[in-house]
Structures are given as C-alpha cells and as structure tokens.
Amino acid sequence: MIKVNNLSKTYNGTTVLKINDLEIPKGESFGLVGNNGAGKTTFFSLLLDLIQPSSGEIVNNGVQVNTSEDWKPFTASFVDESFLIGYLTPEEYFYFIGDLRGQNKADIDALLVKHTEFFNGEILNNKKYLRDLSKGNQKKVGIIATLIGNPEVIILDEPFANLDPTTQFRLKKIIKELADDPNVTVLVSSHDLQHTVEVSNRIVAMHKGEVVKDIKTSAETLRELEEFFAV
C-alpha cells in the first residue's frame, strides 16, 4: 500500500502540491489525470524520491521513500527519456537493468520475446543507440524495462504520449494484464482521459496541486471527467 500523509511541495513560496491524505491499496490500478501544472509529475517525482517534500511523507509498502531506499527493489518506473542511458543499445540497456534487478540474460530474453508485438520490429537487433531512437521508441524501451524483475509497484508518467494508435492499444493490453495481478500496483498519469479510464480501476483528478476528484472507474467515469475538465 502507498500512503500519503500531509504531503506538500513548495517552490519560492508557491505551493505546487498539497495532498493531505491519500491511500493506494496494493493491487490497485491507479490513474492520475489533470491539466499541465496540476501536480501529476511532481507527485510521481516525490514518490520516486527524485525531489524532497516540503512537508509530509509518502510511505511505499511500509517504507518512507525519502528516508530509506528499501522501496527500490520492488518499485519500477518510467517518467521520461532521462531515465535511459543514451549510449547503450536497447539490448544493452535491458541487460543492464536486469543485472540491477538480479535477472539473468535468459530471463531478459524471455521478457523481450513476450513483448515482440509491442516492439513492432523497431527496437531490437537494429544496432541503434537509445539516443538515436524516436521519442516513441525510447518510450517503448523505458516501459518494458520497468517490467524487469517483476516489480510490485509500477509507475508510468504519460506512457501514451508519442505512441502511435496501434502501440497505444498494445500498451493498454500490457497495463491491463499487469492490473489483473493482485500483487502488482500500477500507477499511470496521463492527459488522455479515455486511455487512463480504460486501464485504471480508480481515477484521481488533480487541479493546482490538489486532489479534486477521487472516483472508482465505472461506465460513467469518462463522461464525468470530460464534463469536469470542460468547465
């Protein structure tokens, strides 16, 4: 379970995030939506200890993330291409992450074969460095790398951006399969309301750094969100 207590982030006197209380149960597929500047990436950055909170805390499966690194072995994420290592090929990067997560080459190869369709012949065996791939193909590498080692918490920031419609469809299938595992918690943030609703069983909407909606996904969720953001 992820628990947020009295969390805030302030820059130069301006509060960009303020969440008093939020709980994400283990096994939940959690969607985070909001306009630019709503606080989505700030929240994920705090969850990943990329920035320090101004106040409060986030606890990931019993571990306070900004005071201990014990959450890292069971947590994986892809926020943007800065997470990648540009001078490696995709294969080298996958094997590098596998080493970090105690996986052997055979484990990684089996994972890559499983996601051949998602790669669409554009990633492997092309002798290209990650820095030379398109934004969409870099994203494919980053997303699949989060699955290495079977993490219990997977965090994806704007995973559908820069992907073509076919790849978006395939990604939704991957996320739904992850969400079917009661031991895996998936957190997805996106500007795309429809995609997020389709892969999440709970949606939290943010506005100016605060939670303004927290709803279980139903047949009415997309319409409710569209009406909210249309105002």
Q: Return the DSSP state at 81.
A: G
pLDDT of residue 231 exceeding 80, the answer is: no
Q: Whole-model pTM?
A: 0.93
Q: Return the DSSP state at 113.
A: H
What's the chain's average pLDDT? 94
Q: How far is 80 from 157, CA to CA, in rounded Å? A: 7
Yes or no: say if 78 and 139 are a contact pair by the CB < 8 Å rule.
yes
Give the mean pLDDT of 146-164. 94
Complete edge-to-edge strand list for the sheet that includes strand 55-60: 14-24, 2-11, 55-60, 63-64
- pLDDT bucket at 191, cuts 50 / 70 / 90: confident
pLDDT in tens, 65-85: 999 999 999 999 999 888 899
User: How many CB atoms neighbour CB 120 within 10 A?
Assistant: 14
Q: How far is 41 from 24, CA to CA, in rounded Å? A: 17
For the chain, what are the domain ranges?
2-230
pLDDT in tens, 215-227: 999 889 999 899 8
Overall CATH class of domain 2-230: alpha beta
Say which residues have a Cβ less than 8 Å from residue 175's Cβ, sequence separation at least 6: 29, 156, 159, 186, 188, 199
Give the mean pLDDT of 124-138. 93
Give the mean pLDDT of 83-108. 95
